[in-house]
Each structure stands twice: as structure tokens, then as C-alpha cells.
Amino acid sequence: MKKTWQLEDLDCAHCAMKMQEGIAKVDGVISVSVNYLSARLTIEAEEKDMNRIIQEAVKICRRIEPDCRILL
């Protein structure tokens, strides 16, 4: 299952790359893309794991860029 979310207040392309690298390490993530220009986060994972993965992604994003929010 692949899902996409809008990112609010993503200010830095380097931070987007760091978010992508961090989320890619989360157990169960098949693929992840953080697109700085469109401010979108796309995660591919098993449907049963998606809620846990997105909650971890929120923590990772907040740690890297505190003002950035994933619009769930």
C-alpha cells in the first residue's frame, strides 16, 4: 500500500533528505520519498504497518525540522 501526505512548513531540501533517510530505516517501510518541491511524503508499506510507521515518521520529521508537520 502506498500513501501520500502533504508536508506543511518544509523549509529545507537537506532536511527533506534527512527525513527520507530516517523514515527509510523504520521497520516495515518498503519505500519512502520526501519531495521538497511539492512538499509531499510518500510511504509504501504493508497496510497493517502503516499507522505505526506514520506515527514514527511524525516523530522523525519533528526531530529533524520542528516546524514541519505531516498533514494526516
CATH topology of domain 2-71: Alpha-Beta Plaits (3.30.70)
pLDDT of residue 61: 96
pLDDT of residue 60: 98
Q: From CA 44, how far away is CA 62, in angstroms rounded?
A: 20
Taking the domains of the chain in order of start, what are their residue ranges?
A: 2-71
Look up the pTM and report it.
Answer: 0.94
pLDDT tier for residue 4 given thresholds of 50, 70 and 90: very high
Please check whether residue 19 is in contact with residue 58, taking contact to mean a CB–CB distance below 8 angstroms.
no
67 residue type, one letter: D
| Tens digit of each residue's pLDDT (9 = 90 or more) over 10-53 | 999 999 999 999 999 999 999 999 999 999 999 999 999 999 99
pLDDT of residue 43: 98
At residue 17, φ and ψ (nearest 5 deg) are -65, -40
